[in-house]
Chains A and B, each alone.
Chain A
């Protein structure tokens, strides 16, 4: 049960950089201890056949001890050996190879675990593939290859030459593969970490935007409440404040204030627009909605539209100094529609004015997210016209044009 539990934890390793290093430590320990496991059965025979038994056992013991030590250290530190340990590791592997001719006869230096030195050196090469410095890694690989040549000495028969060359190539190829494996896996982990960080940042921004959208109209109403002393206007604003309060409560409860597109029943477009206009009766709003009679839109669109229209009329109240606001709804056939909100106020220059949260997020951002096109045309002294249009289906939609770096262009998808 404990083993099963341990394996389960391995399978649950996080796909982070730390998790990958931890996995590398498991890999390193596995390879090194596996090598020791392969060395153990041959030790008795090796010692018996060795030309220098004590020397052979000393070399074997050093290799086994180093392998176990490296395994323990990597498991404890939860990452593969660093540069210093790897250099020492390579040094020991080279020393064992160089000492090989002193403890083993030439005919015993090939092909079996009696001659454990080449196999041990290979395990070091594989597990040191993750060493950070490329120079250290390359130099160590070269040193092991040269040590192997020394290990073979001049006694290799012609029939074993191909095996010797093959072993050297094995060192090189395994070293490259191991390094690629370590490097690529680390890159994946780094990218995963970066992606998670970006996703978290985007989620934070989205939450911030949602909060802005939810709070904006309420803040504007509260600001008006604190500024306007007239009892009649305050009473009117209290009604709007209650609407915004309900909306903010719904957001704080995590309710369905942000229902996704298409969810919920559809809503009559005219009642939605009329409801908002009635909340702003003091602005002299002329609502010409007859041409939109009978139109229905998804509940989520209605919610966004109600909030956007409220924000627009709040803008008119606060900034426009308009005599009249015309809210015009026109059905364009097959369920399509266009809502135009025009005020004859002071207007603004789109090229020089930075859009606030209201226009940018509550109106343009939210309506576009709900699949509606928005256009804002304004000029100083000529009032402001905002056009909201239901978009055609995707098959009929024209290809998007490249955006120009002006506010006007950013708000110009509903001509």
Chain B
């Protein structure tokens, strides 16, 4: 896997601290990774990459995710960003997983491996948003079983607890969740901010602060505005 983080200490130490990961590239910018084009299963991406001293114009946030996915990479965001609409916007932009830097090391490592294996890691706040979108018929789930799993996971229940409630094995349930999150993320990418605003009861335009315009070109002239999340930083 590859690591993109402007904090050198983090990008250099991940491979050492997480022995289960094979880090073949650790770079400070998305542009550098694209230039080197390593063959990896997943790219760990920090959301905030621009800094005034070293790389003021570095591509970051939604733009960074889009750039990487356009080049065929699976992206796992690794950030301390907590705002749920920002996290949801990352999934909508194509990220396959979002892992908080606040998680314990071994748990984060396991989630990276899940994404590398083709899974989708959805943080709990975004699971809550997805449940609302499903309940408001903004995203259609075909089976009752999928709804039941989402119901349990949205309440924070573990795989084992949901599996017991549904009388299936934990491994079976993990498989269901694997497929479900992939399906939900795909559905999320197909929604417009307006549709999400209506489903969540937000006022028109409330999501503009978080959601990038999908029609914008990633390399456009107003690149610095791609990350329109303002306010407090996520590091």
Which A residues lie at the B interface, using CB under 8 A? 284, 286, 288, 290-291, 293, 323-326, 328, 340, 342-344, 382-383, 385
Contacts and interface: CB of A to CB of B under 8 A. Distances in A.
A323 B104 contact: yes
Contacts of B125: 286, 288
27 contacts: A284-B102, A286-B128, A286-B156, A288-B124, A288-B128, A288-B132, A288-B154, A290-B129, A290-B132, A290-B200, A290-B201, A293-B201, A323-B104, A326-B154, A326-B156, A328-B128, A328-B156, A340-B155, A340-B156, A342-B155, A342-B157, A344-B156, A344-B158, A382-B158, A385-B155, A385-B157, A385-B161
A344 B128 CA distance: 17
B160 interface: yes
Contact of A324 (B132, B135, B156): B156
Contacts of A326: 124, 154-156
Given A286-B125, A385-B157, 4 more contacts: A290-B132, A323-B103, A326-B155, A342-B156
Contacts of A340: 155-156
Tell me the dominant secondary structure on chain B's binding face: helix
Contacts of B160: 382
Contacts of B129: 288, 290
Contacts of B156: 286, 324-326, 328, 340, 342-344, 385
B131 interface: yes
Nearest to A324: B124
Q: Range of interface residues on chain B? A: 20 to 34
Contacts of B102: 284
Contacts of A290: 128-129, 132, 200-201
Contacts of A284: 102
A340 B162 CA distance: 14
Contacts of A291: 131-132, 135
Given A323-B103, A323-B107, A286 B124 contact: yes
Contacts of B131: 288, 291
A326 B124 CA distance: 8
A328 B155 CA distance: 6
Contacts of B158: 344, 382-383
A328 B130 CA distance: 13
A217 to B, nearest CB: 23
A340 B132 CA distance: 15
A344 B156 CA distance: 8
A328 B104 CA distance: 23
- A-B pairs, top 6 by smallest CB distance, nearest first, are A326-B156, A288-B128, A342-B156, A286-B124, A340-B155, A328-B155
B161 A382 contact: yes
Interface string B78-116: 000000000000000000000000111001000000000
B27 to A, nearest CB: 30
Contacts, number: 52
A385 B165 CA distance: 13
B105 to A, nearest CB: 12
A286 B127 CA distance: 10
B107 to A, nearest CB: 7
Contacts of A325: 156
Contacts of A328: 128, 154-156
Interface in B22-75: none
Interface in B141-180: 154-158, 160-161
A324 B156 CA distance: 9
A326 B201 CA distance: 21
Contacts of A286: 124-125, 128, 156
Interface centre among B102, B129, B157, B158 (most CB of A within 10 A): B157
Interface centre among A290, A340, A342, A385 (most CB of B within 10 A): A290
Nearest to B153: A326
B87 to A, nearest CB: 11
Nearest to B200: A290
Nearest to B156: A326
A343 B125 CA distance: 14
Nearest to A327: B156
Contacts of B154: 288, 326, 328
A322 B107 CA distance: 13
A92 B156 CA distance: 89
A344 B160 CA distance: 12
A15 B153 CA distance: 62
Contacts of A342: 155-157
A286 B126 CA distance: 10
A140 to B, nearest CB: 77
Nearest to B103: A323
Contacts of B132: 288, 290-291
Contacts of B103: 323
Interface string B187-222: 000000000000011000000000000000000000
A293 B200 CA distance: 9
Nearest to A322: B156
Nearest to B124: A286
A328 B124 CA distance: 11
Contacts of A343: 156
A29 B166 CA distance: 81
A198 B150 CA distance: 51
Contacts of B201: 290, 293
